[in-house]
Amino acid sequence: MPFLTAPVLTPGVLSGTPQPTIPTGDGLVLRPWTASDAPAVHAAFQDPVLQQWHARYADSAEEVGGWIEGWLKDWEEERTAQWAVVDADTGRLLGRVALREIRLDEGSAEVAYWTAVEARGRGVAARATTTLARWALDDIGFHRLELMHAVHNEASCRVATKTGFALEGTKRSAVLHADGWHDMHLHARVQGD
């Protein structure tokens, strides 16, 4: 049975070109992950604050190396698009920003991010998220980007608000973390916001 609408984005819109490096214009760069990032990602995941808001833990740099291989493959398969957020001058890893749950036919994806402990309080997540949203909505043509965070993660809520993601509601008992089920705030940006 044919659809009544055409896909918003067509296959190949991402994978048809190499994953781009995207400067924020204010001291950060979003770049594709490399195998050499594994030790820094492993170190970031040892932080109890990062563990509090994520469902995943990193046992070793080797394990993270497998994650990175998966992230790079996901670009080719247009399932997720993950970037390392680095200092433009030093190349030091400061965090990660990503498009997850990509649905090209609907022109939608979910934005996710984390920052290394030494990068917190410097606007890294907000600057990276703003740049990623601009690229996804304006350059690629996504129609809707969603962003979810645990209701009690106030820092993440500030990032969402600061980057123009309007609060749309609360998804009750939506994500399981080590300490139990979390209610999640759902924020979104659409083209034209």
SS3 176: strand
Q: Which residues contact 71 (CB under 8 A, 6 or more apart)?
A: 33, 80, 82
User: Which residue positions in the chain have pLDDT lower than 70?
Assistant: none
Query: From CA 46, how far away is CA 142, in angstroms rounded?
Result: 34
pLDDT given for residue 2 in this prediction: 78
pLDDT given for residue 92 in this prediction: 97
pLDDT given for residue 4 in this prediction: 87
- Residue 184 structure tokens: 């999640």
pTM of the model: 0.95
180-190 β-sheet, strand order = 22-23, 28-31, 81-87, 93-103, 108-115, 144-150, 180-190, 166-177
Q: Which residues contact 158 (CB under 8 A, 6 or more apart)?
A: 126
Residues 86-137 have pLDDT tens digits of 999 999 999 999 999 999 999 999 999 999 999 999 999 999 999 999 999 9
Provide the 8-state DSSP code for 4.
S
